[in-house]
Amino acid sequence: MPDIKQQISELRASALKELDGLSQAKELEEWRIGYLGKKSRLTELLRSLASLPIEERRELGQASNVLKTELEAVFKNKEHQLRCGELVAAGEMMDVTLPGRPFPAGHLHPVSQVLSEISDIFAGMGFQVVEGPEVEWDSYNFDALNIPPEHPSRDNMATFWLDSPPKEPEGWRMLLRTHTSPMQVRTMEQVAPPVRIVVPGRVFRYEATDATHLAMFTQIEGLAVDRGISMADLKGTLFEFARRFFGADRAVRFRTDFFPFVEPGAEMAIECAVCRGGGCRLCGGSGWIEILGAGMVHPRVLERAGIDSTVYSGFAFGIGIERIPMLHYGIDDIRLFYSGDLRFLKQF
């Protein structure tokens, strides 16, 4: 009896092993005849049980039948598998078990990434993120920011004027905003101090395009107005921004500068990442890279927006966005950002 038991388990092992190696329908048929056919070893084995005593016959009979059922099942499976394989190969069936093709997932544009990173830093310092119109009145873009029509700084901001009738009765003319600063005035008109906002957005200048100039680029504006705001708040806030964005190890330089809508005005630069202040091609030999304009909001700007400049004061700043990834990654042509070339965009 142990002999027959052994035979059953050997038979099972060899049947399964052989089946596993089959790849043709013809081989499969041979396997079926060999293991399940009328003259198969299994049939022979079952027949030989007849001569055994009843007890053993029952036990071994059951074991052989279990094996038979199992072999029939694995045969069916294999047959199905081979048949499917043929159909797939012939293009008549799709193999649903294949893993899917990965769907190309996009990501944020590098400029959007920088914008949201900067917005997050200021939001963490209590600034609200707001957006404003890209089509603007000259009144907000210039006049309310203390840039009267004859002011020379209008020349620095070559403007796209819109071909539409002036707003009556004011006579305001429509343009594509040349900076995000008009949102300072729009916000102060709407909300009473304390005001703390950052304004990410696109700006437009009527300029010839080259490696460092675009007719459309991106800025983020900042404004804080409250009682008792001083230059110390301006410096503290912008130094903290630079520390968080560029890292604590980059030195920051602050110098006076002129913008009509601030007094005093300032410019902030950070230590060049490449030469660390020594002077190189990237920073034009100065060791510093200018990243933003800023200043204390001009009293005339506050008054024009309906805020009492004897009670309130504020600071403002404007950051050019494209420059930041350009300097960070050593990108030498600003046009790459808007060329729609995936070879460029996929690197970020």
Binding site for ligand DAH (CB under 6 A): 179, 181, 221, 259, 262, 293-295, 316-318
C-alpha neighbours within 13 Å on the C-beta side of residue 253:
15
**CA nearest to 315, candidates 287, 292, 282, 336:** 292
Q: Is residue 270 within 8 Å of residue 250, measured between CB atoms?
A: yes
Closer residue to ligand DAH, CB minimum distance, 110 or 293:
293
Give the whole-angstrom CA distance, residue 173 versus residue 164: 8
Pairing between strand 312-320 and 288-297? antiparallel
Quote the least distance from Cβ 205 to ligand DAH, whole Å.
Answer: 9
Side chain identity, residue 341? D
Give the whole-angstrom CA distance, residue 333 versus residue 205: 17
Q: Is residue 166 within 8 Å of residue 190, measured between CB atoms?
A: no
Quote the least distance from Cβ 292 to ligand DAH, whole Å.
Answer: 7
Closer residue to ligand DAH, CB minimum distance, 110 or 222:
222
Closer residue to ligand DAH, CB minimum distance, 40 or 219:
219
Quote the least distance from Cβ 103 to ligand DAH, whole Å.
Answer: 40
Quote the least distance from Cβ 238 to ligand DAH, whole Å.
Answer: 10
Tokens of 162: 């819109």
Calculate the alpha carbon distances from 87 to 90, 95, 239 in Å: 5, 9, 68
Side chain identity, residue 129? V
Closer residue to ligand DAH, CB minimum distance, 229 or 294:
294
Give the whole-angstrom CA distance, residue 221 versus residue 238: 12
Q: Is residue 143 within 8 Å of residue 210, measured between CB atoms?
A: no
Quote the least distance from Cβ 201 to ligand DAH, whole Å.
Answer: 11
Closer residue to ligand DAH, CB minimum distance, 193 or 295:
295
Closer residue to ligand DAH, CB minimum distance, 57 or 235:
235
Closer residue to ligand DAH, CB minimum distance, 194 or 278:
194
Quote the least distance from Cβ 240 to ligand DAH, whole Å.
Answer: 17
Give the whole-angstrom CA distance, residue 283 versus residue 326: 12
Give the whole-angstrom CA distance, residue 104 versus residue 56: 64
Residue 304, classified by CB atoms within 10 Å of its CB into exposed (0-12), middle (13-18) or buried (19+), is buried
Decide: helix, strand or coil at residue 276.
coil
Quote the least distance from Cβ 250 to ligand DAH, whole Å.
Answer: 21
Cβ-closest position to ligand DAH: 318
Closer residue to ligand DAH, CB minimum distance, 28 or 220:
220
